[in-house]
Chain A
């Protein structure tokens, strides 16, 4: 509204100026000096093609890209301003015979004429442009989501590609890590690639993992998926759902303690181990990671641990004693899992072995001390504890008194 008002005012002023100019032109006898209005009709706008102009807005320079600038590039998309427009139809509706209407209709010759201003068309085009420019979030089914948002780690990328006639039936591959890595080259300089770690498996004890690098994400994903399919390892599962025994395993600075758990416990562990377990087919497991949580090291350590599992029979033979499992769900029924093969009189060890310590290799999970609140070291807290000291254990003493009354 206000814009149109201003435009009208300017127009008026302009026409008046011309009028004055004409008057002076007519009235004076001075030589006519043309007054030039500084018009610069050249700019990058009309010198460069649309493609280049758009790139300036939406992309990052090559140098910038090398420095890692423009993380949001790709979110902005160039708008095609020609979309929704056609020749002959414009802001002010006009009939142009021969352009947007026939020249002769019947016996009548159609002349150029103005029609009502079409606001709907204008609004429609603006709307179209708005929808074009904004970046659309990738719509991802909640089931297909990975660990976080639309990021790759944790997402499924399908089974490895078939090799010849051999197809990977019932396999599923999941990405564990997707990161950018750089290397320096003598002639190329700093070169970046994508490194992808993925794990593939059939959910029934057959699984493999591999890392692959490629300049494109998609290629890296495909390469790592197919490489993982070439490195399958058979892992036997206990009761088709868990591990055979607790174990401790490490790789580099990563140490993992894994614990066998009863049916229905679920996977209580690091998300990388969770994903690996799902792919392998392990359903019940508790794992505690000590030290570094580097994804590649976790994957390696976990697979090493799984491969070094021993069967009940093996452990029984090694220790020369029976292995017995008691489940609370079965009211602590004695379930004999393994008996030593040579049932000679067992050499009595002076030291009794604990099953868990044996399987964990005499290592235990570090129990960290709970962090104490800040006020523990304050004077007020000391005072409070002094005051409370007289009453400690009072409740227990009272209860005990009550109990002894009935004896």
Chain B
């Protein structure tokens, strides 16, 4: 048994060694699409963040979906209405925290910073000495790692060494010292992509690499490019990776597929936000603020809509608004939604007509279809309201 285990370990090590050997052909090779200047100021900008969060949406069922945990027990409680409402608010706050986007920052370059060159210490040993500050409670980024070279040079360690030492003394759960095979071997990553396991790859990427590392940029770019081809954007909706993905497309002027998906799924306000984001990133002189504020008034933020959905349990079934509610749920839209749709459609058509849109025919077709569906829905909505004698509010 023991022998078997050690054999297996050996095999595993061989795999790792092979993987390391194959790094040159691995997915970490520079991606075609790179951030040529620092995207961080534009990404962390409050408006951009708001747009991205709105595009991400907040589907509580997806955020709080069933996961494998060590302790799968459950707890049943009595709660008063106030307690329940507090819990609902807490739930939304926690969901927002879970949807916090990983930052998009520039790739950090290694800079040689020599502290001292003591020629007298040359050949004092035949290996380097690494000194790590392991003070308790210090952040990883501010932890000093210094290397004394065999030729007597005392210098700050490279980023790679710093990360290694950090991982050695303060291991991050899930981060491996070696490159995971998934990221080292091209065929394994390709397999993951082919199976559309985008969220899994991106989650693992976040654990393994820092956002300023080139591997992080290359692999995430690779995933986003694959997503753009497979058009499975819905897989990332309500996850923390949707924002960076939309930002990536907007930065590299390839939003049309995502836009088409949003129009097809009737997320028109998201489509407007995406167009606005691309205008903002590329400094295109189109006034989008007015449309956004107008839409903002008509549309609740994802957090608000999630909270109202949770609070709908308080609604009594024998209420007066019952019929009205039922009509809304059957059609899926309210009056403000129809109004918002008109504004967004105007903005989107303006974009399609401009020279920035690349897949004009496809987008126009989608918009036309949506318009027809919307018109029918509106007629049905009004007819139902009239039939039930509900006052137009």
Contacts and interface: CB of A to CB of B under 8 A. Distances in A.
A328 B77 contact: no
A346 interface: yes
B76 A337 contact: yes
Interface string B118-156: 000000000000000001110000000000000000000
A21 B301 CA distance: 131
A328 B76 contact: no
B67 A339 contact: no
Interface string A336-370: 11010001001010001111101000000000000
Contacts of B75: 325-326
A264 B88 CA distance: 27
Interface string B289-329: 00000000000000000000010010010000000000000
B190 interface: no
A284 to B, nearest CB: 10
B67 A355 contact: no
Contacts of B316: 343
A376 to B, nearest CB: 34
B87 A334 contact: yes
A214 B310 CA distance: 61
Interface stretch (B78-86, B109-117, B261-269, B354-362): B78-86
A337 B74 CA distance: 13
A322 interface: yes
A321 B76 contact: no
Interface string A290-322: 000000000000000000000000000001011
Interface size class on chain A is 20 to 34
A262 B73 contact: yes
Interface string A104-140: 0000000000000000000000000000000000000
A316 to B, nearest CB: 9
Contact of A324 (B69, B77, B137): B77
A326 B74 contact: yes
A289 B80 CA distance: 34
A327 interface: yes
Contact of B73 (A328, A333, A354): A328
A355 B136 contact: no
A319 B77 CA distance: 12
A329 B66 CA distance: 5
Nearest to A261: B73
A283 interface: no
A406 interface: yes
B5 interface: no
B88 A334 contact: yes
Contacts of B73: 261-262, 328
B51 to A, nearest CB: 27
Given A329-B66, A336-B313, A406-B136, A264 B72 contact: yes
A331 interface: yes
A155 interface: no
A355 B76 contact: yes
A185 B53 CA distance: 86
A324 B81 CA distance: 11
A356 B84 CA distance: 18
A245 interface: yes
A263 B64 CA distance: 17
Most central of B73, B76, B88 by chain A CB within 10 Å: B76
A79 B146 CA distance: 92
Most central of A245, A263, A328, A406 by chain B CB within 10 Å: A328
A346 B74 contact: no
A324 B84 contact: yes
A262 B74 contact: yes
Interface size class on chain B is 20 to 34
A9 B13 CA distance: 81
Contacts of A322: 78-81, 84
B84 to A, nearest CB: 5
Interface string A243-266: 001000000000000001111110
B313 to A, nearest CB: 5
B160 interface: no
B65 interface: yes
B72 A325 contact: no
A406 B135 CA distance: 9
Contacts of B136: 406
A331 B91 CA distance: 10
Contacts of B87: 324, 334
Given A333-B60, A334-B84, A321 B313 contact: no
B68 interface: yes
B79 A329 contact: no
B313 A324 contact: no
A323 interface: yes
A330 B64 contact: yes
A352 B94 CA distance: 27
B69 A329 contact: yes
B76 A325 contact: yes
B72 A262 contact: yes
Interface in B168-189: none
Contacts of B84: 322, 324, 334, 336
A323 B78 contact: yes
Nearest to A402: B136
B137 A406 contact: yes
B81 A346 contact: yes
Contacts of A339: 313
Nearest to B71: A328
Contacts of A358: 78
A323 B66 contact: no
29 contacts: A260-B76, A261-B73, A262-B74, A263-B72, A264-B72, A322-B79, A323-B76, A324-B78, A325-B74, A325-B77, A326-B77, A328-B73, A328-B74, A329-B66, A329-B67, A329-B69, A329-B74, A331-B98, A334-B88, A334-B91, A337-B76, A339-B313, A343-B316, A346-B80, A348-B80, A355-B78, A356-B76, A406-B136, A406-B137
Q: Give the 6 A-B CB pairs with smallest separation, nearest first.
A: A333-B64, A327-B74, A321-B78, A406-B136, A322-B79, A330-B64
Interface of A: 245, 260-265, 319, 321-331, 333-334, 336-337, 339, 343, 346, 348, 352-356, 358, 406
Given A330-B66, A334-B310, 6 more contacts: A321-B80, A324-B78, A326-B76, A328-B72, A331-B94, A352-B78
